């Protein structure tokens, strides 16, 4: 079996994709073979010894590409392919309370997949740009007039990816 890690992402405006790219880069720095792909383009998990899935949260729900990814790959993910999940994210204060609330949203979404046993779950800060809002969100004053923000903490993201590298290494070695 090929010892590759898949980093898949479900992103509308690109901020989750950028986080996935940084995670892939960090895993490669740890001598791991990594493939980076949009979640919607992944048709099989064959050939991957571990998966990292990143998803944006929109209106209390995980990005639809991530939900579909989990449904589509249930068999592989319940047959020993370890899965780590990260999701963004907080765009307001970035304080502990906001992170906890977002973690609650994420846990509720993951509870839709009772068979899921992620080896790691992480909430990542999000990025918000009112100028890039799409219909119908660009019509909502509370969103339109919200200031831009970028709460992605790159040091924390790289640190999480480094701990993942150590955690996923055994899955690679034994595959």
Ligand X SMILES: Cc1cc2nc3c(=O)[nH]c(=O)nc-3n(C[C@H](O)[C@H](O)[C@H](O)COP(=O)(O)O)c2cc1C
Q: Which residues bind ligand X (CB under 6 A)?
A: 11-17, 56-60, 88-91, 102, 105, 126-128, 133, 137, 143
For the bound state, the minimum distance from the C-beta of residue 66 to ligand X, rounded and expressed in Å, comes to 11
Nearer to ligand X, 46 or 139 (CB): 139
Nearer to ligand X, 44 or 131 (CB): 131
For the chain, give the DSSP string: ---EEEEEEE-SSSHHHHHHHHHHHHHHHTT-EEEEEEGGG----TTEEEEEEEEEEETTEE-HHHHHHHHHTHHHHTTT--EEEEEE---S---HHHHHHHHHHHHHHHTT-TT---SEEEE---EE-GGGPPTTGGG-HHHHTSPPEE---HHHHHHHHHHHHHHHHHHHHT-
Nearer to ligand X, 75 or 144 (CB): 144
Nearer to ligand X, 37 or 167 (CB): 37
For the bound state, the minimum distance from the C-beta of residue 107 to ligand X, rounded and expressed in Å, comes to 12
For the bound state, the minimum distance from the C-beta of residue 158 to ligand X, rounded and expressed in Å, comes to 18
For the bound state, the minimum distance from the C-beta of residue 101 to ligand X, rounded and expressed in Å, comes to 8
């Amino acid at each position: 079996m090929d010892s590759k890690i898949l980093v898949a992402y479900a992103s509308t405006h690109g901020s989750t994709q950028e986080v996935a790219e940084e995670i892939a880069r960090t895993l490669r720095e740890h001598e791991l073979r990594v493939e980076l792909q949009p979640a919607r383009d992944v048709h099989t998990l064959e050939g991957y010894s571990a998966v990292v899935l990143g998803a944006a949260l929109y209106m209390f729900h995980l990005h639809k590409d991530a939900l579909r990814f989990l449904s589509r790959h249930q068999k592989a993910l319940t047959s020993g392919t370890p899965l780590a999940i990260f999701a963004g994210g907080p765009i307001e204060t970035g304080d502990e309370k906001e992170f906890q609330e977002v973690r609650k949203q994420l846990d509720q979404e993951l509870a839709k997949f009772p068979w899921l046993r992620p080896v790691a779950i992480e909430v990542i800060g999000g990025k918000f740009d009112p100028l890039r809002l799409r219909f119908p969100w660009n019509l909502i004053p509370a969103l339109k007039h919200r200031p831009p923000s970028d709460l992605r903490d790159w040091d924390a993201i790289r640190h999480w990816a480094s701990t993942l590298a150590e955690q996923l290494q055994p899955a690679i070695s034994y595959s």
